[in-house]
Structure 1
């Protein structure tokens, strides 16, 4: 117990005074090093303690042996990277590398591998953090040079990603929050509202081709006005919309449905529709004419209107 207290007090003094030179750990004994590892095992998010262990491990002679289980985690991480087909695989590799540095927190190469896996996930901030630990553990000037050059590359990528995020937020930030959707159908000849749904939640997500997807899919109540009476009927509404910018910077809205509503039979896919954006960007009203009733292809003169409203 006295040894544990002595190690903890020494660490607190070191962190508070900034005395973190390699020489400060030159006298760290194997037993004290083991106590530090035990404390980190109980507080794995203690970054300051982790740095102290990296420095102490570099100063110990002979160097601490790498546990076989830590080496196993590193190799499994390497295998996950080699077979990776997407972000989930890189995340799985990072978990293995994290396991390696938790089992051997003084092991520099494992921090480098973890940083590279995080880079592949575009998590540049975490990658830079672990690269710093690799450089603290560097055993040679060549390792230090390798780490410094990699740091420059990561900093460039982080700055580029921050700029891209800023541009994206400037374009699509107003689409954040919660939206609701109401669908209305009008008869073009009489101007009568034939049906209207109650508001349903429109969920947003990032589209793989750029832009934002707004998708409404839910059971709702639909008010039927066509017969002259307000009949409330259950209705299933499933509509997908894509908000993006064209090459000229013009905001466009697309919906997934009949590519050409003026022809029948129809083919389905994404197609652009007319819409109006409210001055405060809290409403969007999209309009599309329908010349045929589906699936019978009987002539019709209908207009469907979708009204989006941001409620939060």
Structure 2
């Protein structure tokens, strides 16, 4: 089989959500509802944080950015999947596929960095409360978000440019509901050694460094909390971390599930379901996790939604 350059074909083929045509309308409605809930929930959190002066703190600054990036990550993958279900066609253009690869890497990397920054914020707040306002100020938060954006955009740009140099064969079926860099590279006929090395390096940096930072922060938090004499103080300290720990577990649990399932199973359907948890379910659940466990945020949401009728 002779390899063909990317200019010799116009599209890839994504995995079909279901082969049962009778289930198509039901699944379309389900995913559309999940997408709308994701957009509405994360948008409400972002607007509530911006509109309430009491929430203009580092923790909620990171949270509002996380909600915005959740909206972007969902919008990168779900609308195309809905369009394909409606058209009953699983095709995606080469340009569209490469754009998805780039945007998924950007927003996935941003969420990864933000979760590490939020863990550091909780570490300073609990372990060094007297120095918190000096160490973690809004200027530092802005710099951390900017640095996260530069690193994520740079990483995504490198991977996307390296995909451009690849040649592809006639088998252009991607075993996921969206274009993901590893799956696209696996379809190449040309040498992918450099691409795979870059992926391992990026995974080590984003996964290893960020996750190590989160683990270190919470190890110090647990050590500090266990030395507190008051049971009420312990409960209050742990309650401020509960939402973040839940989001971290969901994000990394589903993320690792994608790569574990792709490494240890030959079923493309199982791998696709794991990837859907990562890109669809996680962004939808984050607003519920934070709003249900946070009294200040619930109050801000009530005040914000109470003002909406007066605007209409």
Q: By the TM > 0.5 criterion, same fold?
A: no
- TM-score normalized with structure 2 length: 0.27
**Bigger radius of gyration:** 1
- TM-score normalized with structure 1 length: 0.27
Higher share in helix: 2
Q: Relative contact order (alpha carbons < 8 A, sep ≥ 6): 1 or 2 greater?
A: 2
